[in-house]
Amino acid sequence: MTDPLIAACADIERHVGASGWDSPARLFALVPTVDLLAAEPSLAASIDGADELPEGHLTAVEQDEFHAGGDLVADLERIAWPDGVAGCALSVERVFVPPAAESQIPDDPDAAAAFVNSHPDRHDVRVVVGVLRSGATQGIARLKSRPDELLGGTDLVPGLARALSRTLEGS
């Protein structure tokens, strides 16, 4: 049986990936599918195998009103979820350079962006990080240079997982 959070993150990555690269950050609520179908039975027709879903199955509901600005963590600090949301996930694309090049990155943000974007060893990566109220975390990443491979782990992007977890607190 596949872990529901891993499955949800993989589904989100496929969904976002269908739009190609250079996408903005996208935020998703993770809702227990059984609860969603109880509230909206008409959605069963749009969910493959709705009558045979594994226990704990999660449905990702994109938050179209979310628009990340320059500071993603600050943007997430303004998010709060209702009790019916079991977790949340974020898809974000970033560019990184090898550790040996990091000391050469200029301090000026515009110069740093130009440096990273023009570096011959840069890598484009799409990351989906998901968290649940239970404390479970999962990250999935795809390198643009290796489109057929997914990387994953529970601690793939710990800072982003912490920021997402804070959106679930106190709601």
Q: What is the mean pLDDT of each run of 10 residues along the chain (171 residues)?
A: 86 94 95 86 70 82 90 90 95 87 85 85 92 96 92 91 92 54
What pLDDT is recorded for position 1?
Answer: 45
Q: Which of 120, 11, 2 is nearest to 62 (CA)?
A: 11
| 23: DSSP letter | P
Alpha helices in the chain (DSSP H): 4-17, 33-39, 72-77, 99-102, 109-118, 158-168
What pLDDT is recorded for position 101?
Answer: 83
What pLDDT is recorded for position 55?
Answer: 78
Q: How far is CA 135 from CA 9, 82, 88, 147, 164, in A?
A: 15, 17, 11, 30, 11
Structure tokens at 113: 């962006």
Do the Cβ atoms of 5 and 130 come closer than 8 Å?
yes
What pLDDT is recorded for position 50?
Answer: 61
What pLDDT is recorded for position 167?
Answer: 95
What pLDDT is recorded for position 81?
Answer: 95
What pLDDT is recorded for position 105?
Answer: 86
Residues near 131 by Cβ (< 8 Å), separated by ≥ 6? 87, 88, 89, 137, 138, 161, 164, 165, 168
Structure tokens at 13: 């990555």
